[in-house]
Structure 1
């Protein structure tokens, strides 16, 4: 037996209830992990897209040269230009296009209305106040039973110069108003029918902003597309693989083996230390703690003729040496410890463990 094994037995004996409790806790947890990861994998649900469809609306625009100028001949079409000239190309010709796509099938009735909206707006931080507004219908178009990827085209024309003049007259009637005048072409698309086997009814809005100045006007389209999805909760079984399927059984086996070993050790008395073993451990701990106060040397025979005073423990002998400003002398054979003081020989004889290997080992660091 080694000193380390004796200390381990002492530790296991002292903390036996806690060790058993920890092993039981680890065993229970690992059993649950093993069951959930290998025997009965859990089932969860997740949302999955089962169908989808999307709409797309866009504007194209152009203007034809109507008045003579040094740059463009009369009758030439300026396509997709920005800005346009207010005097030379006063009429904006545009086309609004709409289509939709579906992951399966679709059949929609599409009603499209294009109109001009003119209004006077005052923006105050996050608040928008409309002082006046006017609407003018430009075009309408209806299409029944429109299928996916089929396109609806709605042409329209707008004399930007005339609208700017009319807006100026409206503003003059009200006087000097705050804010600014906005001119916007709006396309409203009403959809009704069936897409991907589901009834669909919705309305979408697309805009084309027009910003006139003294000589030109700017066109800013705001085409966009919307995506609609249908989801469904689908049960998903979590994978039984992964590290826990290995770690769980491993911990379960280790905890079971640990419980069997400590139970057998307790039953065989291996974890129970005798009084002699405990006394010997206390001595070896004292020998390690007070090593700085102990020197090894062999005393002359005359020293043993002094009256002997026996100490109960090595700690008592060291305390006496400290109080009397002496050193503790250890016999090189490790059989006894001495303090020479006032013609007396103070002695402590270490206990024996009953194990030949331990008694032969006198190294204080072990």
Structure 2
């Protein structure tokens, strides 16, 4: 109970300061709640607008011109993983480019077949054949074209080049598609380059010929967020609680007996020197009143005696051979009890 007594004594001794602090903090919390409620936060966000997509692809296919065990003559093979010269000596590329349909788009298409000779990572030969080149303005959102490559003739050219180098270095073929686009708002380039492999009597593309680009504009705008009820409500609740505590603490001083609290604190601190008992009444001994319990405990320590606590009259005493040293919170009541 010592801590509780000390807290009550501290409140009693600093009563006005504590009440003023509670009122001040409570008012500040209410003002803060009003400020949060009346001034919503504003933040800048970035949005993507006028989003437009540009994409292109070249799908390979081959017409079967010779009857084989695999395919029927006249059959068209689309997007296969491998083709055979014995069945289809030529490959067709169907180019399709998709752009926004609500605006005119200027397009420049170029489909090229490139042969490179490379040794130790260094290029020593290059030839480029343009398969398709077109410049058009598209208004319906789509451009299509088709071009056929004689793979059998390309294989013969590749064999001639390899024979010319007598096995020094390597030759590789690449298919490259480049699409340049331009609108009132955007311009850019779509590029796709993939290896074109001729391996003996078969040929194939190692990857899909396709490219895509999404264009947009960044626009910043201010967004006002409504006040958060948890924020202003929390401030308001804390403010009201503090003001309520201040009202309760305002009258607390009248209900606290500081002298009694000090006595309780001293009692707790010197509890080992105090014993419960009853004072002798109508005694012939001389009664000597001590001003504080702490002074009475000092008398007990000096005389090597114990302090007797009589809870009936809430009084303390040290009984000596001829004197009774005593202290009582209610001194009048104790004097009447002791008949002095």
TM range (shorter): 0.7 to 0.9
Gaps of 5+ in 2: 334-340
Contact 1:9 1:271 in 2 (8 A): no
Answering whether residue 140 of structure 2 is matched by residue 134 of structure 1, we say: no
Answering whether residue 339 of structure 2 is matched by residue 347 of structure 1, we say: no
Contact 2:174 2:193 in 1 (8 A): yes
| Corresponding residue for residue 361 of structure 1 | none
TM-aligned CA deviation for residue 305 of structure 1: 5.2
Q: What's the secondary structure of 1:106's corresponding residue?
A: coil
TM-score between the two structures when normalised by the length of structure 1: 0.69
**Deviation by residue 1:61-103 (Cα, 9 ceiling, x = unmatched):** 112234553322444322221122254434221111001136x
Q: What's the secondary structure of 2:99's corresponding residue?
A: strand
CA distance in 2, matches of 1:116, 1:12: 97
CA distance in 1, matches of 2:174, 2:216: 31
Label 1:114 to 1:310 Cα distance change in 2 as closer, same or farther (>3 A). same
Task: Find 2:144's aligned residue among 116, 141, 153.
Answer: 153
| Corresponding residue for residue 359 of structure 1 | none
Label 1:6 to 1:61 Cα distance change in 2 as closer, same or farther (>3 A). closer
Label 1:23 to 1:330 Cα distance change in 2 as closer, same or farther (>3 A). same
CA distance in 2, matches of 1:292, 1:59: 100
TM-score between the two structures when normalised by the length of structure 2: 0.74
CA distance in 2, matches of 1:169, 1:20: 102
Task: Find 2:215's aligned residue among 228, 248, 258.
Answer: 228
Answering whether residue 165 of structure 2 is matched by residue 185 of structure 1, we say: no
Label 1:9 to 1:130 Cα distance change in 2 as closer, same or farther (>3 A). farther
| Corresponding residue for residue 58 of structure 1 | 57
What's the RMSD between the two structures over aligned residues? 4.3
| Corresponding residue for residue 136 of structure 2 | 143
Task: Find 1:285's aligned residue among 259, 265, 269.
Answer: 265
Label 1:245 to 1:14 Cα distance change in 2 as closer, same or farther (>3 A). closer
Gaps of 5+ in 1: 124-128, 357-366
Contact 2:315 2:329 in 1 (8 A): no
| Corresponding residue for residue 114 of structure 1 | 111
CA distance in 1, matches of 2:174, 2:12: 86
CA distance in 1, matches of 2:86, 2:295: 117
| Corresponding residue for residue 34 of structure 2 | 34
TM-aligned CA deviation for residue 110 of structure 1: 1.5
TM-aligned CA deviation for residue 106 of structure 1: 0.6
Query: Following superposition of structure 1 onto structure 2, how do residues 15-94 of structure 1 map, counting pairs within 5 Å?
Result: 16-17=16-17, 20-21=20-21, 23-25=23-25, 27-28=27-28, 30-38=30-38, 40-67=39-66, 69-94=68-93
Label 1:6 to 1:292 Cα distance change in 2 as closer, same or farther (>3 A). closer
CA distance in 1, matches of 2:83, 2:229: 66
TM-aligned CA deviation for residue 114 of structure 1: 0.7
CA distance in 2, matches of 1:271, 1:256: 14
TM-aligned CA deviation for residue 290 of structure 1: 4.1
TM-aligned CA deviation for residue 247 of structure 1: 3.8
TM-aligned CA deviation for residue 54 of structure 1: 0.9
Query: Following superposition of structure 1 onto structure 2, how do residues 167-246 of structure 1 map, counting pairs within 5 Å?
Result: 167=158, 170=161, 173=165, 176-177=168-169, 182-194=172-184, 199-219=185-205, 220-240=207-227, 242-246=229-233
Contact 1:41 1:238 in 2 (8 A): yes
Contact 1:313 1:348 in 2 (8 A): no
Contact 2:46 2:220 in 1 (8 A): yes
